[in-house]
Structure 1
Amino acid sequence: MSAPFVLLHPFAPFPLARRTRWLWLGVAALALLLIAAAGQWSARREASFQADSIHRAIEVHALALRGAAAKYSYLPFTVAQHPDVLAALAHPFDPAVLQRANHYIEEVNRRAGSDALYLIAPQGTTLVASNWNTPRSYVGQSYANRPYFSDALAGRNGQFYGVGQTTGEPGLFLSAPVRQGAEVVGVVTVKVSLQPIQEAWGFVRDPILLTDAHGIVFLGSVLPWLYQSRRAVAGSDLDWVLSHQQYGAHHSFALLPWKMDPAPDLPGFRVQTTIDGKPRQFLAVDEALPELGWTLTVMADYASVTRARERTWMLGLLCAGLLLLGGLYWQLRERRFAEQRDARRELEVRVRERTAELDEAHAFRKAMEDSLVVGMRARDLDGHIIYVNPALCAMTGYRADELLGRLPPYPYWHPDDVEQHWHNNDATMSGQAALSGFESRVRHRDGHDVLTMVYTARLIDAQGQHSGWMSTVVDITEQKRSALRQRQHEEQLQHAQRLASLGEMASTLAHELNQPLAALSNFASAAKAFAEQGRQELLVSSLDETAAQAQRAAEIVRRIRGFVRQRTAGQEDCVVGALVANVLALLQGEMRQQQARAVVRVPADLPKVRGDRVLLEQVLLNLVLNSLQAMQATPLERRVVEIDATVADGRLHIQVADHGPGIPAALAEQVFAPFFTTKPDGLGLGLNICRTIVESHRGRFTFADRVGGGTVFTLELEVSG
């Protein structure tokens, strides 16, 4: 009876092992399916976020485009009502009438800020234009082939985007009919540039483009895509574009280098393309602008969707691996359960020891938090304060028991900044607080102000749930004071340099003032003599000369006072020619005393620069003074200061050159060092302060040897936007 049992016993475990193996395989397959599904869900979720972001961007860009068109839509109709415009159409061959209309339209265009404004006769020839006195004037040009002209001539308001036939520059053309009773007798058109919008798009990370009704890209952030088409342009569409010369010299429109795929469950479509030689994939959404006849396309990088899917897969595989290890551990634990029964007591001892260690670690962490000099504050989801450390209590002057449990408004909120405190509190509670933190002014209990920097992060409990917010509060009061002292120190150094420059001109200033004062005395004596003789005409002439000399003396004093004053005017748009003229006017006496002259090559049409006029004049004055002093040993015929201004690579370059001995190579590296000078009575601050001023204007200040002898100093500044 025992033989069958002995034979079957060795094979008894095999069916159980086989079932366990199949169970593990089933669990692994299910885990892989769940991981794949989770990856797809993560990708769809990321793509949905991208679509929402694109829709928000579309709203902003569409509003800007509509605003650019609507801003000037009233202008053609308004100008069409003016008597001078109607008179020009009634008398198209009267030069005086046309000139009045030219001046009127030029002034309206200047005040409105549009690119161009012009009046077209019914035959299509321009009679009057805001650029009538420029080389590329519209006057005499025919625009009969333009749609905006034919629409307005038919009594409708016209709208058309294209490249200008005369200037070759693209723009949006808006037109309105000029009516004489029920008859259309002419067309008024305004040209508006969309270049500022394209320049703004250039700073956007992902592509944005605008296409017309034929699918041709005429505005966008990716310049190689301009004048390419989303679909083939041929037949009547191409004939229409060419007959109206919509895009100037562009007669064919290649297809965009896109491969487009549908995006299931998402608005828009996927685009595969190459930008700057790199393959890219985007999620693109189109938005029709029917009132403009355009289509706005905004894209977002699709790579983040792929990364989200891959991250989820990796995390799922990691979790599956951990679960597998846990299962193996559990199986091993079950197999050895009997062996561990005797060790359970020892394990309980170890648990108690571990608990004691955790208590000690908690106490250590508490002591460490209490010793921090940075304030810590924890709040629950309703805004109750649930934890503060001693540093925050010292920062606000309130004890922990006075703060715990409090809801906003908190007692340390500054009474003058309550609205800002509420704004910061709402942003934090909604999870929209900036990761870079925000500044906040609080009121200490004793009444003094404390400037802080607040950084907030989510507070996660032991179950992994979001339970509140933890804020780090840094006292930056002393840092702010140091920054203020530094700015005051820099202003004092600049003021000291201006006074030093003024001291160098003191003798010349006395000579400059002596001349008008001596002239005042002579003319006053002459006026008295003419009055006694009854010579009325000569008396009036002498008094006029007296007033002129008094004005000259006042102008000299005004310039010196404006240069020496401690406070500057601040940021403004500065004309380079005016800066140079003011500096040379201040140095007239110095140049006359040095028997030197200035050669100025500053074109009148240079763009303005944005900056502090007084500080920029200080830089130029220091450079011209240095040039004059460097040429004291130069022959008289070569004592020339050359001042040039040009525009290169979108930046303004101002050069001041002299004919002196130049800067020795051994001293070149020390030129900009503070307190370094080769003058016996110099402070050694001039060039150092000049470089500080130029760099504060986001510019560059350099020097080089001049060909033929001398030194050239170059200021490179940004032009006004």
Structure 2
Amino acid sequence: MRFPAYRPAKLAYLLSFLGLVIACAAITDKLVLKREVETLRNDGDQRLAQYSSTLARDIGQYAVLPKTVSLDPRIAALLTDPNNRARLRQVDDYLQTLNDQVGTLDIYLIAHDGHVLASSNWNQPDSFIGRDLSYRLYFREAQPGKVAEFYGIGTTHNTPGYYLSSAVSVAGQPLGVVAVKVSLDQLEKSWLQAESPALLSDENGVIVLSSVTGWKYSTLRPLSPTLQRQLDDTQQYNRRRLQPLGLITRQTLDDNTHIVELRNIQTQPPAFATTGLFLTKTHAIKGTPWQLTVFYDLAISRNLAHTSAALAAAGVALLLAGSLLIAARRRARRTALRNVELSASNTRLQQEIRERREAERHLKAAQDELIQASKLAVIGQMAAGVAHEINQPLAALGTLSDNAREFLQRGDSQTAQFNLERISQLVLRLGNITGQLRSFAKRAGTELGAVDLAVAVEHALSLLDSRLRKTSVVLRRTAPDETLYVHGNALRLEQVLINLLGNALDACQDHPSGSIDIGWQCTGARVRLWVADNGPGLSDEALSHLFEPFFTSKPQGLGLGLAISASIVRDFGGSLTAGNRPQGGAEFELDLPVGNQHEAH
């Protein structure tokens, strides 16, 4: 009560102080939450790309199986003469053996009237033989030479699966359908290792795969009465009760990203949080009407934002309080003891800063370890999938070799030659799979120096000499008279050149007057090298995803070559770009730093 005149000023100063702290906390909370949401969106894109690639691989390894089985002469012979018991037993044994080898759930042959004629489970009490499956979509939509795809729940065992089917015909006359049932349980189990839920929905909005057991066979939206009757007629879900999941969209960030709310959804045991606000990312599976969706619990991000806001507010409050304290001490000119105390306070603040920097260093190290662990996990998952990737070609090799032997015995050398060529293609495919996976897994650790660009090009062309001689493609080189050195590694640069030249060969090998142009020139401290062809060029989709891992326009490609090449060139301090030429064809360009020839190796 001794200084009442100062109270209004002190109150205004205190209110300003509190307003600044609150504003800092609010801004920090908003910025941190925005950053966390963006991080989750990027992580969602990576998860969706990984899940989509795994799903496409798991389904793709069986894609040619029904068509391959339909080409077996024993199948057509049985459909032509279904009362031949010896032939029926032979086909039953064949389907049973093939089913055991490739790891499918069931393989069966359906006659033209929709009744199962032969099956891999012919000797089981609950065999499919004799059952009427004419109402199934995979029977209705099967066509000769094509593979129809369908997800459904079996009406015999009540087991869900992915169905692949192909019609059997002779001289244009349909005789029946070969159906293959594949399990997707392994893919669903792999999702359980993630920290947040994921689901796969079909064209009807029905959840067919989910890491949350209670979500399976729920719907993302209510079904219309017409669609419900249609699903009951086809028994696609074996007349299961399809109830809405209960998603409530709270905010739309873009077409594929939403903030949604889930209420009163329980799992036993609760492996994931299933109540509250979630960030969802959705991705359409190419070539199918399916959609992948991943969920991220926003409670963790919101808690982190609140914690960061509290720390920021505390930091601002501490700084302002310190400023007030210093100003008060200067104005009052306290004694030397107060100066000592101020010095001690400053020392403690410096220690806190050092501790905070040390904590940030440990945090950065931990983040680096997590990034490396994540990469190793992806590589391990790819290695685990090699067995599935190789299993289907091996099964096809067995079938094709048996057919080739039978055709040779019949004297049908042309058909036998066709089967042998298919066997050779499958062997090459197996080699490509293992070779490209090794390239992807290998991390460059060799030294960099000056590389003679002309020598590297010559080595790359020598490795492709046999391919060049087998085609009519014309190779044109444009090179300066002087020797140019670039900064890099010779072997890795040759790897990039082989990839670019091989792609150019693939692009123009069917062109009646195919040509490839390769050349290089020096501009200042940079060297530009180009590889161009007169093939069909690159589509807009290819240009936008060209250097992404697993993107490919080749039927037998893995989509790793250009991604690896771009990574190698970046390690050199350069860049790899692509575009279409005005006169037609594609052009790839390397931009590399000039190397010091005294460092040549």
TM-score where L is the length of structure 2: 0.53
Cross-structure match for 1:240: 230
Deviation at 1:82, TM superposition (A): 0.7
Cross-structure match for 2:246: 257
Cross-structure match for 1:577: none
Change (3 A) 1:354 1:173: closer
Which of 256, 264, 274 is the aligned partner of 2:264? 274
Change (3 A) 1:249 1:349: closer
Which of 64, 77, 96 is the aligned partner of 2:86? 96
Deviation at 1:431, TM superposition (A): 5.7
Q: Is the 8 A contact 1:209 1:217 kept in 2?
A: yes
- Aligned equivalents of 2:250 and 2:284: distance in 1? 20
Change (3 A) 1:351 1:140: closer
Which of 307, 314, 329 is the aligned partner of 1:311? 307
Deviation at 1:127, TM superposition (A): 0.9
Q: Is the 8 A contact 1:257 1:274 kept in 2?
A: no
AA matched with 1:219: L
- Aligned equivalents of 1:75 and 1:353: distance in 2? 78
CA deviations on 1:359-397 (whole Å, 9 max, x unpaired) are: xxx9xxxxxxxxxxxxxxx9xx9xxxxxxxxxxxxxxxx
- Aligned equivalents of 1:291 and 1:433: distance in 2? 37
Identity %: 26
Deviation at 1:129, TM superposition (A): 0.9
Q: Is the 8 A contact 2:163 2:182 kept in 1?
A: yes
- Aligned equivalents of 2:343 and 2:329: distance in 1? 22
Gaps of 5+ in 2: 268-273, 352-357, 374-601
Q: Is the 8 A contact 2:250 2:258 kept in 1?
A: no
- Aligned equivalents of 1:264 and 1:191: distance in 2? 38
1:293 aligns with 2:289: yes
Change (3 A) 1:144 1:229: same
- Aligned equivalents of 1:29 and 1:333: distance in 2? 24
- Aligned equivalents of 1:273 and 1:49: distance in 2? 25
Deviation at 1:58, TM superposition (A): 1.3
AA matched with 1:333: R
AA matched with 1:297: T
Cross-structure match for 2:594: none
Cross-structure match for 2:410: none
Change (3 A) 1:222 1:242: same
Q: Is the 8 A contact 2:67 2:145 kept in 1?
A: no
Which runs of structure 1 show a deviation greater than 6 angstroms over 4 or more consecutive aligned residues?
Answer: 346-355
Deviation at 1:257, TM superposition (A): 3.1
Cross-structure match for 2:169: 179
- Aligned equivalents of 1:352 and 1:23: distance in 2? 26
Deviation at 1:211, TM superposition (A): 1.1
- Aligned equivalents of 1:183 and 1:90: distance in 2? 11
AA matched with 1:56: Q
1:158 aligns with 2:148: yes
CA deviations on 1:26-68 (whole Å, 9 max, x unpaired) are: 3432332232111100111111112222222212221221122
Deviation at 1:349, TM superposition (A): 9.0
Cross-structure match for 1:615: none
Change (3 A) 1:333 1:126: same
Match of 2:264, SS state, is strand
Cross-structure match for 2:508: none
CA deviations on 1:249-299 (whole Å, 9 max, x unpaired) are: 31x421113333115479333232334377333211111114232111111
Q: How many residues align?
A: 354
AA matched with 1:226: K
1:433 aligns with 2:429: no
Match of 1:105, SS state, is helix
CA RMSD of aligned residues (A): 3.6
Which of 210, 216, 221 is the aligned partner of 1:226? 216
Higher relative contact order (CA 8 A, sep 6+): 2
Which of 323, 327, 330 is the aligned partner of 2:319? 323
Q: Is the 8 A contact 1:211 1:296 kept in 2?
A: yes
- Aligned equivalents of 2:96 and 2:319: distance in 1? 79
Deviation at 1:347, TM superposition (A): 8.1
Deviation at 1:17, TM superposition (A): 6.7
Cross-structure match for 1:202: 192
Change (3 A) 1:335 1:347: closer
Change (3 A) 1:58 1:269: same
Deviation at 1:202, TM superposition (A): 3.3
Cross-structure match for 1:122: 112
Change (3 A) 1:352 1:268: closer
Gaps of 5+ in 1: 1-11, 363-377, 382-427, 438-721
Q: Is the 8 A contact 2:164 2:179 kept in 1?
A: yes
Match of 1:432, SS state, is helix
Of the structure 1 ranges 68-77 and 26-35, higher mean CA displacement relative to structure 2 is found in 26-35
Map 1:380-459; keep pairs closer than 5 Å.
432-433=368-369
Deviation at 1:436, TM superposition (A): 12
Cross-structure match for 1:515: none
Deviation at 1:177, TM superposition (A): 1.5
Which of 298, 304, 318 is the aligned partner of 1:302? 298
Change (3 A) 1:183 1:264: same
AA matched with 2:369: A
Change (3 A) 1:309 1:433: closer
- Aligned equivalents of 1:177 and 1:352: distance in 2? 88
Cross-structure match for 2:51: 61
Cross-structure match for 2:582: none
Map 1:317-396; keep pairs closer than 5 Å.
317-337=313-333, 340=334, 343=335
Change (3 A) 1:271 1:93: same
- Aligned equivalents of 2:341 and 2:67: distance in 1? 91
Map 1:6-25; keep pairs closer than 5 Å.
14=5, 18=8, 21-25=11-15
- Aligned equivalents of 2:39 and 2:265: distance in 1? 24
Cross-structure match for 1:144: 134
